[in-house]
């Protein structure tokens, strides 16, 4: 999983006549790849914007004036604003412990951090229903104290945290392991305190990876559907996030409004994908500068 | 904590705090809720669990979920390897955009993927209309589930195979060419064996993701019980009918499958890593 989401800095390979395919084969392979990507990625993406704008710009903009749509946007922003910083702090703490110290059970801990990746979002929602729902472990106690978690905002935030749990940690752990700990040790020997080392040495070294982790975590937090759908209860204007509102509108055949909201999330996805390319390019450039400096 | 986990002495501060926070947060958000699911399952009686888990409707949903995931992940292997190959080895206009777009299924919310795939592949959609002419119905059939899962899984294969192709030493290909191997022979006998661990890992990742997938599938599947209803949807249906026991039993079953797959994936990644360091 780490290899899938982590930023990479590839070295371009080169080929000669003996180690490449004939032009016909090459063209065929490129055509297959492009057609597959077009059918599965490009056309569906274009369709979001086409369906959203099909009935004109007025209808498109009107979709966002709707009170329920605004409430959904607000709730999505709130839950991301809680989930992302918490998972950011967790990611930094976990990466600090795992990358800078040796202890037994390290790879087991990494596996546990990866767990939410392999759990179905529906099950992520289900476990919270079983904990805090009316028939759950804490259900009677919560009801007695008039606290609502399931079918309310806290449940949505919890489910969002669960689903986006590993993103920052998984981005930072390999990066910080690669950095080693010599620089931090030097800083400590020169008299820096723990927080100073973190702020001045460690985080600046991994800033691009950290930024991408946050962007990806945010995209997933705002777009989460399955887990949130289980705990939300779909109360309009109260517990609907953007993806849930998209579903409701779609099922009511309000396609233009549904795709209008979906286009917001698609833009967010495009920004995320573009940010990844940009940050990879930046990392590659930083590495090249570092290599040149070390040679000189 | 330090003595318990046998830390080697380090001059860096903050291990106790970082580790403590990590373990507490991990337990509260992930471990305790997941354990709660198993505890709840343990409170059910065997016949209760068995009646849900082995009911015809549940069995049909497993067949669809696992079957479609298998086909989807296999499609990802075939096309993922081609896409990775083309992106690493050839240059053509628009390549960098294509490369960036590979991550789209990872960043695009599943509900958005679901509604747009349903519209593109429905009978009057951009692609569905041409498929309908030759008698293939995609949306609202089990085939639609395969399409959604093939969409979701693409980045996993491409992004695991890409680095292997990038690191592949051209000397090996040159040697094979010098020794008289054709391009196809070089690919099948020299390059493919080196790619196998990455391909298998990518397949397992795509498969694991596909099994739990919900959002992108339900819009295009049609969701007819016994025909096009995936297991995650069945869990939600049970919850909506207040059948908490049934939802719990099905959820625990799926969670066990996910854990087994996670073990397999970890073993595969270790294998791939060993293979890459041996050379």
**pLDDT, position B3:** 46
Q: Do A22 and B239 count as a contact with CB atoms less than 8 A apart?
A: no
| pLDDT tops 70 at residue B148 | yes
| pLDDT tops 80 at residue A10 | no
Establish if B180 touches chain A: CB-CB under 8 angstroms. no
pLDDT tier, B278 (very low <50, low <70, confident <90, very high otherwise): low
Distance to chain A for B82, nearest Cα, Å: 6
**Chain segment B207-264, per-residue pLDDT in tens:** 999 999 999 999 999 888 999 999 999 999 999 898 999 999 999 999 999 999 988 8
**pLDDT, position B58:** 95
Cβ-contact A152, A228 below 8 angstroms: no
Establish if B89 touches chain A: CB-CB under 8 angstroms. yes
| pLDDT tops 60 at residue B8 | no
Establish if B44 touches chain A: CB-CB under 8 angstroms. no
Cβ-contact B84, B158 below 8 angstroms: yes
Residue to substitute from B5, B42, B115, B148, interface A, most A β-carbons within 10 A: B115
**Chain segment A108-161, per-residue pLDDT in tens:** 999 999 899 889 999 999 999 999 988 888 989 998 999 999 999 999 999 999
pLDDT winner (highest mean) among A10-24, A67-81, A276-290, B167-181: A67-81
pLDDT tier, B180 (very low <50, low <70, confident <90, very high otherwise): confident
Short-list A174, A125, A162, A228, CA closest to B25: A162
Q: Do A36 and B83 count as a contact with CB atoms less than 8 A apart?
A: yes
**For residues A190 and A178, what is the distance between their CA atoms, to the nearest angstrom?**
22
**pLDDT, position A9:** 56
DSSP B262: H
- The number of C-beta contacts closer than 8 angstroms across A and B is 321
**For residues A169 and A140, what is the distance between their CA atoms, to the nearest angstrom?**
35
| pLDDT tops 60 at residue A11 | no
- Percent share of chain A, pLDDT over 70: 94
| pLDDT tops 80 at residue A5 | no
Average pLDDT, chain A: 90
Mean predicted confidence (pLDDT) in A62-79: 94
Alpha carbon distances (Å) from A89 to A24, A162, A186, B239: 52, 14, 24, 33
- The residue whose two tokens read 């958000």 is B29
Secondary structure of B90-108 as H, E, C letters: CCCCCHHHHHHHCCHHHHC
Residues of chain A in contact with residue B211, where contact means CB-CB under 8 angstroms, are: 120
Secondary structure of B107-168 as H, E, C letters: HCCHHHHHHHHHHHHCCCCCCHHHHHHCCCCCCCCHHHHHHHHHHHHHHHHHHHHHHHHHHC
- Percent share of chain A, pLDDT over 90: 72
Distance to chain B for A118, nearest Cα, Å: 6
Residues of chain A in contact with residue B31, where contact means CB-CB under 8 angstroms, are: 112
Short-list A31, A171, A178, CA closest to A94: A171
What are the DSSP calls for A42-105, one per residue? IHHHHHHHHHHHTT-HHHHHHHHHSHHHHHHHHHHHHHHHHHHHHHHHHHHHHHHHHHH---TT
Cβ-contact B129, B115 below 8 angstroms: no
Sign (positive or negative) of CA dihedral A41, A43, A212, A109: negative
Residue environment code for A107-139, b if the CB has 16+ CB neighbours within 10 A, otherwise e: eebbebbbbbbbbbbbbbbbbbbbbbbeebbeb
Alpha-carbon dihedral angle through residues A119, A265, B239, B69, given to the nearest 10 degrees: -50
Residues of chain B in contact with residue A269, where contact means CB-CB under 8 angstroms, are: 104, 107-109, 112
The secondary structure of chain B in percent helix, strand, coil, rounded to multiples of 5, reads 80, 0, 20
**For residues B51 and B47, what is the distance between their CA atoms, to the nearest angstrom?**
6
pLDDT tier, B183 (very low <50, low <70, confident <90, very high otherwise): confident
**Chain segment A253-266, per-residue pLDDT in tens:** 999 999 999 999 99
**For residues A170 and A94, what is the distance between their CA atoms, to the nearest angstrom?**
9
**For residues A261 and A244, what is the distance between their CA atoms, to the nearest angstrom?**
10
Mean predicted confidence (pLDDT) in A58-79: 93
* Chain A from 270 to 289: CB within 8 A of any B CB: 270, 272-274, 276-277
**For residues A2 and A169, what is the distance between their CA atoms, to the nearest angstrom?**
10
**Chain segment A201-218, per-residue pLDDT in tens:** 999 999 999 999 999 999
| pLDDT tops 80 at residue B51 | yes
**Chain segment B88-132, per-residue pLDDT in tens:** 999 899 899 999 999 999 999 999 999 999 999 999 899 999 999
Give me the residue from A8, A47, A100 closest to B120, CB to CB.
Answer: A47
* Tokens standing for residue A38: 């077009």
Contacts of B129 (CB under 8 A, 6+ apart): B123
Short-list B56, B26, B53, B13, CA closest to B253: B53
* Tokens standing for residue A245: 């509102």
**For residues B183 and B165, what is the distance between their CA atoms, to the nearest angstrom?**
15
Contacts of A175 (CB under 8 A, 6+ apart): A6, A95, A206, A209
- The residue whose two tokens read 């669960």 is A162
**Chain segment A153-197, per-residue pLDDT in tens:** 999 999 999 999 999 999 999 999 988 888 999 999 998 888 999
| pLDDT tops 70 at residue B7 | no
Least confident of A207-216, A278-287, B16-25: A278-287
| pLDDT tops 50 at residue B1 | no
**pLDDT, position B39:** 93
Average pLDDT, chain B: 90
pTM higher than 0.80:
yes
């Amino acid at each position: 999983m780490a290899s899938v989401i982590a930023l990479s800095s590839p070295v371009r390979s080169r080929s000669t006549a003996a180690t490449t395919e004939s032009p016909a084969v090459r063209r065929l392979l490129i055509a297959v790849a492009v057609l597959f990507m077009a059918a599965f990625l490009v056309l569906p993406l274009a369709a979001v914007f086409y369906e959203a704008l099909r009935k004109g710009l007025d209808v498109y903009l009107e979709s966002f004036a709707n009170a329920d749509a605004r409430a959904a946007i607000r709730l999505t922003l709130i839950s991301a604003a809680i989930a992302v910083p918490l998972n950011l702090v967790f990611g930094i703490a976990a990466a600090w412990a795992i990358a800078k110290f040796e202890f037994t059970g390290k790879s087991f801990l990494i596996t546990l951090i990866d767990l939410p990746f392999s759990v179905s979002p529906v099950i992520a929602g289900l476990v919270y229903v079983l904990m805090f729902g009316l028939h759950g472990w804490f259900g009677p106690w919560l009801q007695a104290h008039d606290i609502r978690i399931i079918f309310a905002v806290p449940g949505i935030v919890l489910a969002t945290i669960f689903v986006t749990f590993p993103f920052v940690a998984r981005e930072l752990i390999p990066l910080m392991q690669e950095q080693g700990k010599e620089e931090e040790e030097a800083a400590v020997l020169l008299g820096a305190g723990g927080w100073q080392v973190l702020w001045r040495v460690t985080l600046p070294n991994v800033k691009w990876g950290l930024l991408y982790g946050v962007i990806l975590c945010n995209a997933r937090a705002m777009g989460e559907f399955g887990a949130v759908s289980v705990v939300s209860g779909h109360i309009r204007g109260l517990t609907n996030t953007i993806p849930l509102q998209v579903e409701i509108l779609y099922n009511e055949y309000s396609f233009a409004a549904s795709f209008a909201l979906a286009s917001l999330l698609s833009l967010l996805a495009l920004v995320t994908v573009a940010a990844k390319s940009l940050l990879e390019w930046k990392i590659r450039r930083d590495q090249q500068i570092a290599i040149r400096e070390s040679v000189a | 904590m330090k003595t318990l986990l046998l830390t080697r002495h380090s001059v860096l501060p903050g291990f106790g705090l970082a580790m403590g926070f990590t373990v507490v947060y991990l337990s509260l958000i992930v471990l305790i809720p997941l354990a709660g699911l198993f505890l709840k399952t343990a409170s059910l009686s065997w016949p209760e669990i068995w009646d849900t888990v082995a009911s015809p409707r549940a069995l049909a949903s497993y067949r669809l979920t696992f079957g479609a995931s298998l086909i989807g992940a296999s499609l990802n292997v075939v096309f993922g390897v081609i896409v990775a190959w083309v992106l690493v080895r050839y240059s053509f206009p628009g390549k960098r955009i294509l490369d960036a777009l590979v991550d789209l299924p990872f960043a695009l919310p599943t509900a958005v993927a679901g509604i747009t795939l349903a519209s593109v592949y429905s009978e009057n959609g951009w692609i569905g209309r041409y498929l309908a002419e030759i008698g293939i119905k995609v949306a609202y059939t089990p085939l639609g589930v395969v399409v959604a899962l093939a969409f979701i899984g693409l980045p996993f294969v491409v992004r695991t195979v890409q680095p292997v192709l990038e690191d592949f030493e051209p000397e090996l290909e040159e040697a094979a060419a010098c020794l008289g191997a054709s391009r196809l022979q070089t690919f099948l006998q020299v390059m493919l064996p080196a790619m196998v661990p990455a391909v298998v890992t990518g397949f397992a990742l795509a498969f694991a993701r596909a099994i739990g997938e919900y959002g992108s599938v339900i819009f295009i599947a049609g969701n007819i019980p016994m025909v096009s209803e995936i297991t995650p949807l069945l869990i939600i249906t049970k919850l909506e009918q207040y059948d908490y026991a049934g939802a719990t039993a099905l959820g625990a079953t799926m969670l066990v499958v996910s854990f087994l797959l996670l073990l397999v994936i970890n073993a595969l990644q270790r294998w791939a890593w060993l293979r890459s360091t041996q050379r």
